[in-house]
Structure 1
Amino acid sequence: MSVSTQRFTALDVFRGMTVCFMIIVNTPGNGATTFSPLLHARWHGFTPTDLVFPSFLFAVGNAMSFVMPRYQALTQGQVLGKIFKRTFIIFLLGYLMYWFPFVHWEEQRLVFNPIGTTRIFGVLQRIALAYGIAAVLIYFLNWKRALIISIFGLFLYWALLLLFGEPGAELTLHGNAVLKLDTWLIGSQHLYRGEGVPFDPEGLLSTLPAVANVTAGYAIGYFLQKKGNNFEALAKLLLIGCLLLAISYAWNLVFPINKKLWTSSFVTLTVGLDCILLGMLVYVIELLHKTNWTYFFKVFGRNPLFIYLLSEVGAILLNFFRVGDSSLYKAIYRSLFMLLGGYIGSFLFAITFMLCCWLVGYLLDKRKIYVRV
């Protein structure tokens, strides 16, 4: 196996892991009986689940470091066309996913989902915007300047939250600038309500620091390509990760780690952890050449956006179709998994759902079908 192929293997595995765990944490059989590490932190704080989404953004940037050099043979118009097209399609898919299946049950009859209350921002939308902004910055300014601008953006975001949040409550659920901007821009009817009140954890303003997850992923990908697969490069990667962890914990004292606000300390923490995790994968896959275990995750990594979208649409449909007074989702959990116990049953439901998504990815991979946007 060539060096370049191995690098793509490590990237596919890293990206595949993020998709795999995104599906697991998003589809528990019963949210009330979910193991705490598989739940997001309620507000300030951090759990393993909080690492999943930023890791996907990091992987997006890592993949860009292999793709961007190919753009040198294209005109500026062609490059921007590719970037804007991909950004638009991913954003649109995210928007349509939240509107889907376009109807809902209300007193045993189907009622159309009004477009006026459809959630506008979300996971795919954040991926689209963070990718688009990072790609434009890197293309026009090179990755070093883009990374510097992203770091500046982390401090700018901190300042914006302090300046435009409610005094004394700028980092609370009800008084932050992210909520204020989203409410002013699109209205509370278009916001996520999973917190019990209108608030979107993927709001527009908090996309600013998320761009740094992508540019950092690009920088690390570029670093590995230039330095090669050797212990010196891995040592530096691990040192970068440890340094970022120290910065994040120090920053947490004045700007708390918070996934739902995507605070700057959250960015440095997640990028630091991703550097360490990626370093571990590079060591095992590329230096030790232990690859027998990697295919499972490569299946996810080769069609990441498609499999993630499939998992979300699948969960939506299982909750939409009815079995008596219950959704098909709940009926399957209660009849097959709840008998194993609340927490174990909920976890095994999520694992089973993830494996079903993996099977689709496996069939696509065997047929060499790779869905690209």
Structure 2
Amino acid sequence: MTTPFRFTLAATDGRARTGTITTPRGEIRTPAFMPVGTAATVKAMLPDSVRATGADILLGNTYHLMLRPTAERIARLGGLHRFMNWDRPILTDSGGFQVMSLAGLRKLTEEGVRFSSHVDGSKHMLTPERSMEIQRLLGSDIVMCFDECPALPADEATVAKSMRLSMRWAERSKAAFGDRPGHALFGIQQGGVTPELRAESAEALQRIGFDGYAVGGLAVGEGQEAMFGVLDYSPDMLPADKPRYLMGVGKPDDIVGAVERGIDMMDCVLPSRSGRTGQAWTRRGQVNIKNARHQDDPRPLDEGCTCPACRSYSRAYLHHVFKAGEIISSMLMTWHNLHYYQELMAGLRGAIAAGRLSAFVAEFHAMRAEGDIEPL
């Protein structure tokens, strides 16, 4: 008998929530941060290392995987979990955002999006039905509806038209997803920064009925203030007994602000991408390991951190291997960043459970305001 997909709330503090998403492949503690494994790998990390940072779930990318190595090939090889050696839950996005941002020539119609691959220029058609088929072939645990995500700022008429198309596509996604015990389908709320459009979208999604709901169309250039403005009301438009997922967010202070406003799940390439470019996220804010001030510094990135980079290596070493272009630089810096993000999530979960979130958030901001330790 397949374990049913379910969401259990354990505690709330203000609008913030902590709980558990249960799937056949394991539990996801919320609020959860999902590292991004775009092409069936979290760059510079082994799956066991990602798990060791505290991650319960990874995100895979429909657009990239359909182009290379193809969903059909992954299915023949036993599905995405076996292919990438990750036996815990995987969420796959629908491909809609990447088609809009990465693909070459594209033509949007009611049916879907016809586009040219950014890899080799080959022609493809992505529709709600095809997106559901790809995600089924991949075998992901949480499937996202196919939607259109217009870049902000955009005028209200454009946002409204796009949102209504996404709602029609959501209905088609639900029909194509079918009955798949143990697998979940999430709807995606759109509507830009307009409360009336967000409300219309939330109502349309709830009429269709989903296992979870995402707040989409944010973190696309509107800035933190506008994003928080939307999060001040949009999560409350979605069912309280289902997970709420904010797509593509973000920086540590974005995450804290989103959790305060009732978000349960987030993903972002930032910790891994920053790691590869020599940026470390710490409790004292960002550290740029490229800077010459670190070249003679025997201290760790963050004295309170227990990741391998901080436990066993100095800032001087991390500076050296980054400057030398050594692969270990990406490995250690990415591990540190993912560890920091998961530690932040654990701290948020504990604070919500203990009813002391506001104190936790105040400490978080105060520590970041202090800035990095003084140079030697």
Same fold, TM-score > 0.5, yes or no: no
TM-score normalized by structure 1?
A: 0.33
Relative contact order (alpha carbons < 8 A, sep ≥ 6): 1 or 2 greater?
A: 1
Higher helix share: 1
